Amino acid sequence: VNIIACIGAGSIGRSWATLFAARGYKARVHDADPRVLESAFGSVRESLMELERADAIESAEECFARVEFVPTLQQAVRGACHVQESIVEDVQAKMSVFATLDELVPADTVLASSTSEIPGSCFMQQLKGRDRCLVAHPVNPPHLIPLVEICPTPSTATRAVMATKQLMIRLGQQPILVTREIGGFILNRLQAAVIGEALHLVGEGFCSVEDLDKAITSGLGRRWASLGPFAAGHLNSDGGYAEYILKFERTLRQLTASLETDYSWDRTLIERIDQSCRELTQRRSIRELQLERDRKLIALRRSLDGPVSES
Ligand SMILES: NC(=O)c1ccc[n+]([C@@H]2O[C@H](COP(=O)([O-])OP(=O)(O)OC[C@H]3O[C@@H](n4cnc5c(N)ncnc54)[C@H](O)[C@@H]3O)[C@@H](O)[C@H]2O)c1
């Protein structure tokens, strides 16, 4: 069975490990902090059991037997066919771990980073093996949300891009290619625009925290769950996308000009939103809410993509 190394076992590393194991790979998990490694053990097992309960995998125990938690980086990467780095979002830390990985790992193995925002060339460019390095940015939690943004640096070889794309497809993920490096890639740039404007709308009293979230969960999120903004626009007018934009152009230009995506929020607003979130979720624990989110994500994925099954 092919081995995939997961470097960093925080929220992303452990979810990658769950995905790799659920899809028939061996996951070798390492974290610099032994306490994190220990909590990842329980968390990967729990997530696999959740997948079993939802009939997305046959046996959580069988999958979990393919996950190994190891105390060193060296042990993690031995014999790995792919290395997925998910350590802290810090360019110096990533530079240092990639330098070590580049020394340890055979030259034909892809070294991929989960970074949310940092273009790979900021920490991969100095490496001897920079042609096998790229960003493979997942969406949290990757074992339930299929998008992966593959973003090569100008030094990444096409074969590394192709190998990563094929691996992600074998894992049941849905990769997209970021054809030019840009901070935040695609998803987080879109998300930042929405979050910035959401802070503005709530911060300036245009609606409540609850209703802002509802505008997404009952409205925009549903529209965009099956059609992106371009495909949705194409269907919004009988004449297709160009006609839609022509009709909508004046409004669209006025609205984009009036957005405050770089709204300057303060701590008081953040505390107020935090309090509202706690009250609206009836002070249930974050872990409990995450498990509920996961169950809904499984149901949503099944309805959009068909059965989620072990390959
Ligand atoms: N959380 C998200 O929503 C999300 C989504 C997509 C991508 N990402 C990216 O994934 C990466 C990890 O994010 P996270 O949310 O899991 O962070 P996290 O803080 O939960 O976990 C990071 C882990 O890395 C470990 N670590 C730090 N330095 C290390 C080293 N040198 N070797 C081994 N382990 C080391 C830490 O002990 C920690 O457990 C970041 O680059 C982040 O930007 C996060």
Q: Which pLDDT tens digit goes with each residue over 114-156?
A: 999 999 999 999 999 999 999 999 999 999 999 999 999 999 9
Question: Cβ(140) to ligand 1 under 6 A?
Answer: yes
Give the per-residue pLDDT at 308.
58
> Can you list the positions of beta strands (E) in the chain?
3-7, 26-30, 67-70, 80-85, 110-113, 133-138, 147-152, 174-177
| Residue 192 CB burial class (10 angstroms; 0-12, 13-18, ≥19) | middle
- Contact indicator for 148, 174 with CB cutoff of 8 Å: yes
Average confidence (pLDDT) over 203-228: 97
E-state strands within 193-303: none
Nearest residue by C-alpha to atom 40 in ligand 1: 89
What is the token pair recorded at 46? 């729990």
- Per-residue burial over 55-73, b if 16 or more Cβ lie within 10 Å, else e, is ebbeebeebbebbbbbeeb
CB 298 within 8 A of CB 144: yes
Helix (H) or strand (E) holding 62: helix 60-64
The answer to whether the CB of 32 falls within 8 A of the CB of 109 is no
Judge if the beta carbon of residue 76 lies within 6 A of ligand 1.
Answer: no
Those residues whose C-beta lies under 8 Å from the C-beta of residue 276, and which sit 6 or more positions away, are 208, 209, 210
Burial class (CB in 10 A: 0-12, 13-18, 19+), 43: buried
Ligand 1 lined by 87 (C-beta under 6 Å): yes
With CA atoms as reference, report the closest residue to 168 among 192, 191, 121, 134: 134
pLDDT tens digits for range 13-37: 999 999 999 999 999 999 999 999 9
Q: Nearest 5°: phi and psi at 27?
A: -110, 125
Is the pLDDT score of 86 beyond 60? yes
* Pairwise CA distance, residues 48 & 41, whole Å: 11
Residues 150, 134: Cα–Cα separation, whole Å:
7
Residue 187 has pLDDT above 90, yes or no: yes
Q: How many whole angstroms from 102 Cα to the centroid of ligand 1?
A: 19
Average pLDDT taken over every residue of the chain: 96
Quick one: pLDDT at residue 311? 43
114 lines ligand 1 (CB under 6 A): yes
| Unique residue bearing structure tokens 């740039």 | 189
Q: What's the 118 CA to ligand 1 centre distance in angstroms?
A: 13
Tell me whether residue 86 is exposed, middle or buried, using C-beta atoms within 10 angstroms of its C-beta: 0 to 12, 13 to 18, 19 or more.
Answer: buried
* Ligand 1 near 148 CB (within 6 A): no
Q: How far is the CA of 258 from the centre of ligand 1 (A)?
A: 35
Torsion of CA 8, 14, 16, 18, to 10 degrees: 150
CB of 83 closer than 8 Å to CB of 108: no
Bigger pLDDT: 1 vs 93: 93
- Residue 11 Cα to ligand 1 midpoint, Å, equals 7
| Pair 202, 277: CB distance under 8 Å | no
